[in-house]
């Protein structure tokens, strides 16, 4: 008889406990930075042609340059990420032809140990996400991620994709929408971060 009354009571306690756990789940709190004017920077002002007859190369002006974009993704007046753009003459270590070769790079890195960027597994190459792709803590993360690398004699080449990159600040995940720009350039269209700790974000999510 006691078992008959105890079982429904036990089920009721379990249901109440489950409902309380559901109530503890915090909703998304997305801080979306909708840039009125996208941020675009590049390192090359102009080009001129180098023609040795056997090869033709585009030479950047200036021949050595760098610039940066600083991002405060959670709006606390402290920069969380820096995008570094640079190019310079590549000093050959082996014969690569008669024409001059230049090294072009764009990378993003966190400003402290709690900031990181989603990357391809076991690499420092940025992962790109399409609209509504999930960016989660299960992604591979790195403190420095390469967006562009080209030049040199024989090396892998990486280029910007017009999509989203994932970012992690402390226990908060966000995204940055990037696009390629001319003259070794990059455009940041907008970005967002989920201010609720330990929650995922969808690429492009704004609320």
User: Taking all residues of the chain, what is their mean pLDDT, rounded to a whole number?
Assistant: 88
Q: How would residue 16 be classed by pLDDT, with cut points 50, 70 and 90?
A: very low
Separation between Cα atoms, residue 200 and residue 183, nearest integer Å: 34
pLDDT at 14 over 70: no
Q: What is the pLDDT of residue 188?
A: 97
Q: What is the pLDDT of residue 95?
A: 74
Both structure tokens of 24: 């503890």
Q: Average pLDDT of 35-42?
A: 95
> pLDDT by residue (tens digit) across 168-201?
999 999 999 999 999 999 999 999 999 999 999 9
Q: How would residue 59 be classed by pLDDT, with cut points 50, 70 and 90?
A: very high
Q: How would residue 100 be classed by pLDDT, with cut points 50, 70 and 90?
A: confident
Is the distance from CB of 147 to CB of 186 less than 8 angstroms? yes
Q: What is the pLDDT of residue 183?
A: 96
More confident residue, 2 or 86: 86
Both structure tokens of 160: 């910007």
Q: What is the pLDDT of residue 158?
A: 82
Q: What is the pLDDT of residue 70?
A: 97
Q: What is the pLDDT of residue 18?
A: 47
Q: Average pLDDT of 11-21?
A: 48
Domain ranges of the chain: 28-202
The contacts found for 21-28 with CB under 8 angstroms, 24 or more apart, are: 26/196, 26/197, 26/199, 27/196, 28/194, 28/196, 28/199, 28/201, 28/205, 28/207
Q: What is the pLDDT of residue 24?
A: 55
pLDDT at 154 over 80: no
């Amino acid at each position: 008889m006691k078992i008959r009354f105890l079982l429904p009571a036990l089920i009721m306690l379990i249901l109440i406990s489950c409902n309380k756990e559901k109530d503890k789940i915090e909703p998304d709190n997305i801080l979306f930075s909708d840039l009125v004017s996208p941020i675009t920077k590049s390192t090359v002002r102009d080009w001129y042609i180098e023609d040795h007859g056997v090869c033709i190369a585009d030479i950047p002006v200036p021949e050595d340059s760098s610039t940066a974009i600083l991002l405060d993704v959670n709006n606390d007046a402290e920069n969380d990420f820096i995008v570094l753009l640079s190019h310079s003459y590549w000093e050959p270590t082996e014969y690569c032809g008669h024409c001059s070769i230049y090294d072009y790079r764009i990378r993003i890195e966190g400003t402290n140990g709690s900031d990181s960027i989603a990357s391809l597994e076991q690499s420092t190459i940025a992962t790109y996400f399409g609209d509504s792709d999930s960016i989660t803590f299960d992604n591979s993360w790195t403190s420095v991620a390469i967006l562009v690398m080209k030049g040199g004699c024989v090396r892998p080449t990486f280029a910007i994709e017009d999509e989203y990159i994932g970012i992690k600040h402390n226990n908060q995940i966000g995204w940055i929408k990037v696009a390629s720009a001319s003259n070794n350039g990059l455009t940041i269209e907008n970005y967002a971060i989920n201010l609720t700790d330990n929650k995922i974000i969808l690429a492009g999510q704004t609320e």
